[in-house]
């Protein structure tokens, strides 16, 4: 009997698993989110490997002057000549611009943490400010990506033109879709909060969205480093 009583007490203590028995002391939803993110690592791992291989092959063909490749960004494109000379796709990128948008995305992780803290401490007005700020920073990042895609397209880098275009737009686009899904979740949280339905006992929901959001940020750190900084 004492076992049962202890167990009931333990359950009452375990705040964030809503009173359910859990063998690990971690709530089901949080464990599930971690597993999902583990799975996402492999998805991005596969896409990043594909990007690295595709860009290496692209540069090899450009340097070798493959006629099928050399004109895929417009006949006599100056950027293609620069790529051939630099043996890298670096001339394509506007590093200061992307650094700025990366910084904005990373800052959104900070506001996300603050939002979670505010909800768990029942400071709801503040939590809405931080959720809104996260939403705004994330949306700014997406806007930056739209601008960047447009600029690249104007420079002649199309999705179907060559390997680099396909690989670049796919990898960064996949990440952009992930950020956008995060924005939808943040918007839903903000809506719930304004309806008074996001209170202290739901802090874990904010934490789960936060886990996803931080993951998306970390993936961007990887992509930014691999795609932009060390080409």
Instruction: List residues binding another protein (CB under 8 A).
Output: 1, 3-4, 7-8, 11-12, 17-24, 26-29, 31-33, 35-36, 38-40, 42-43, 45-47, 50, 53-54, 57-58, 60-61, 66, 68-69, 72, 159-163, 165-167, 170, 185, 188-189, 192, 196-197, 199-202, 204-205, 208-209
> Which is nearer to another protein, 73 or 144 (by Cβ)?
73
CB contact at 8 A, 72 and 162: yes
CA separation, residue 136 to residues 84, 184, 194 (Å): 39, 12, 17
Output 101 or 130, the one with its CB closest to another protein: 130
The answer to whether 101 touches 195, Cβ cutoff 8 Å, is no
Q: Least distance in Å: CB of 168 to another protein?
A: 11
Quote the least distance from Cβ 95 to another protein, whole Å: 25
Rg of the chain in Å (alpha carbons): 23
Number of DSSP helices (H) and strands (E) in the chain, helices first: 8, 0
Give the C-alpha separation, 95 to 76, whole Å. 24
CB closer to another protein, 43 vs 151: 43
Centroid of chain to Cα 100? 15
| Complex with another protein: residue 28 or 99, whichever CB lies closer | 28
Residue with tokens 């594909």: 50
Task: Pick between residue 154 and residue 195 the one whose CB is nearest to another protein.
Answer: 195
Phi, psi of 122 (to 5 degrees): 65, 25
CB proximity list for 231: less than 8 A, separation 6 or greater: 55, 88, 89, 90, 93
Cβ atoms of 29 and 208 within 8 Å: the answer is: yes
Shortest distance (Å) from residue 229 CB to another protein: 23
Nearer of residues 46 and 151 to another protein, judged by Cβ: 46
- Distance in angstroms (rounded) separating the CA atoms of residues 186 and 94: 29
């Amino acid at each position: 009997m004492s076992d049962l009583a202890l167990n009931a007490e333990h359950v009452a203590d375990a705040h964030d698993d809503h009173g359910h028995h859990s063998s690990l002391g971690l709530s089901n939803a949080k464990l599930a989110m971690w597993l999902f993110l583990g799975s996402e690592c492999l998805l991005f791992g596969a896409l990043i490997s594909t990007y690295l291989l595709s860009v290496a092959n692209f540069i090899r063909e450009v340097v070798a002057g493959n006629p099928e490749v050399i004109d895929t960004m417009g006949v006599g494109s100056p950027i293609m000549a620069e790529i051939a000379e630099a043996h890298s796709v670096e001339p394509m990128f506007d590093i200061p611009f992307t650094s700025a948008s990366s910084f904005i995305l990373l800052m959104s992780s900070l506001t996300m943490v603050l939002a979670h803290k505010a909800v768990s401490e029942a400071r709801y007005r503040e939590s809405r400010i931080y959720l809104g700020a996260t939403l705004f920073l994330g949306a700014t990042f997406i806007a930056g990506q739209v601008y960047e895609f447009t600029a690249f397209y104007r420079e002649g880098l199309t999705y179907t033109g060559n390997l680099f275009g396909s690989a670049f737009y796919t990898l960064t686009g996949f990440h952009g879709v992930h950020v956008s899904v995060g924005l939808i979740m943040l918007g839903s949280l903000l809506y719930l909060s304004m309806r008074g339905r996001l209170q202290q006992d739901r802090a874990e929901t904010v934490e789960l969205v936060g886990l996803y959001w931080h993951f998306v940020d970390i993936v961007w750190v990887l992509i930014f480093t691999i795609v932009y900084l060390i080409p």
